[in-house]
Structure 1
Amino acid sequence: MWQEIAKYGRKLVEHGLVESNFGNISLRAGDKMLITRTGAALDEITENSVIEVDIQDTSSLDIIASSETVVHREIYRQTSALSIIHAHCQYAVVESLLAGPGGKIAPVDSEGQYFLGTIPVVGGGIGSRELAGNLANTLSRHRGAIVYSHGTFAIGRTLGDAYIVTTQLEHSCKVKYLYERAVAEKGNK
């Protein structure tokens, strides 16, 4: 299973959706989850870069697992997700700053409108219980969300599903940003 996490870690970095040492990936395996280690370079994941922890209870291994382990755990507890990708997509972060915590981003591209609908922006500190609750609640109704000033969280039945949602979130935010900038520049002429 770590090989699947490594595959998507490389794709995230190669496509500029995350810087190497930021973001995290997890897979549910029954009542456990496999999650990237804190500080792991996502484009260099090995078997030692992935930690197995319980979903229901905290673990002594939480200290070396991703700083977002509490968030992944709560998402698995409250949703049917079998995989989660957290990325630091640049345009998604910018759009979250413009929308504000609790805000919503309305895609202007047809794919974003069709596949994502309105994109929620949630608040909460990195790796906090507040963020865990906010994201789990939101992701019980949406396939993806953006954490204010922090990045995207996407869920799926597979890492491929979560990756597609991640790319769609970033694509829709990029198109929205560029479109609104073009409209503003056109209005200033």
Structure 2
Amino acid sequence: MAFFLYISHKMWQEMAKYGRKLVEHGLVESNFGNISVRAGDKMLITRSGTALDEITDDNVVEVEIQDTSSLDIIASSETVVHREIYRQTSALAIIHAHCPYAVVESLLAGTGEVIVPVDSEGQYFLGNIPVVGGGIGSPELAENLADALSKHKGAVVYSHGTFAPGRTLGEAYIVTTQLEHSCRVKYLYELAAIKK
């Protein structure tokens, strides 16, 4: 039991570290977005309404991955989505952010389409970025994202934000930053091309 409490303590501290980074770098507004980490057949996920730059152990909820939990009611509204991604992929951590350029590019591309990076890093590291649809925290969104993330490094939910899985929160954070960087470069490049 002491070992699990130690692991749980380290996990929420990692979640707090990356929550601060997301807010500091403008990848999410403080009270939006969510973070989770898989721990065996459970996950730790931020509570609904948690300010990501102020995560403490009280802002993190442990819920089941295979089944719903009585704590789902206080967990993030996207718990069902994180749960399905863990069920269908090898992800051990997930970051959901509201990256502004990624949201804009999703609006320009449309649901069911892909965002094609124009920068070499995005082409190499991400490839095509799927834009998926579904209501916030809905089973439809959960299924669409889990399917997309079983084939791609990251995805953007139409008009909503990015989902990035990883083996660690650090890896999920890198995918999040790359998604936003590639979408920003694409937007600025296409804006400049129009003005030529």
Q: TM-score range by the shorter chain?
A: over 0.9
Q: How does 1:55-94 map to 2 (within 5 A)?
A: 55-94=65-104
C-alpha displacement at 1:170, in angstroms? Answer: 0.1
Letter paired with 1:40: T
1:43 lines up with 2:53 in the alignment: yes
1:177 lines up with 2:187 in the alignment: yes
Q: What do the CA deviations read for 1:69-105 (whole angstroms, capped 9, x no partner)?
A: 0000000000000000000000000000000000101
Residue in structure 2 matched with residue 22 of structure 1 by the alignment: 32
Q: What do the CA deviations read for 1:108-142 (whole angstroms, capped 9, x no partner)?
A: 00000000000000000000000000000110111
Distance 1:17 1:85 in 2: 11
Which residue of 111, 116, 135 maps to 1:106?
116
Q: Which runs of 4+ in 1 moved over 6 A?
A: none
Residue in structure 1 matched with residue 143 of structure 2 by the alignment: 133
Residue in structure 2 matched with residue 146 of structure 1 by the alignment: 156
Distance 1:138 1:106 in 2: 15
C-alpha displacement at 1:149, in angstroms? Answer: 0.3
Distance 2:27 2:179 in 1: 10
Where does structure 2 lack aligned partners over 5 or more consecutive residues? 1-10
Distance 1:68 1:58 in 2: 13
Report the identity percentage: 84
Residue in structure 2 matched with residue 117 of structure 1 by the alignment: 127
Which residue of 23, 45, 48 maps to 1:13?
23
Q: What do the CA deviations read for 1:10-68 (whole angstroms, capped 9, x no partner)?
A: 00000000000000000000000000000000000000000000000000000000000
Where does structure 1 lack aligned partners over 5 or more consecutive residues? none
C-alpha displacement at 1:143, in angstroms? Answer: 1.3
Distance 1:109 1:117 in 2: 10
Distance 2:168 2:122 in 1: 20
Distance 1:6 1:51 in 2: 13
Aligned residues: 186
Q: SS of 1:154's equivalent?
A: strand
Normalising by the residue count of structure 2, what TM-score does the alignment of the two structures yield? 0.95
Distance 1:125 1:36 in 2: 19
Q: SS of 2:44's equivalent?
A: strand
Distance 1:145 1:160 in 2: 17
Measured on the aligned residues, the alpha-carbon RMSD in Å equals: 0.3
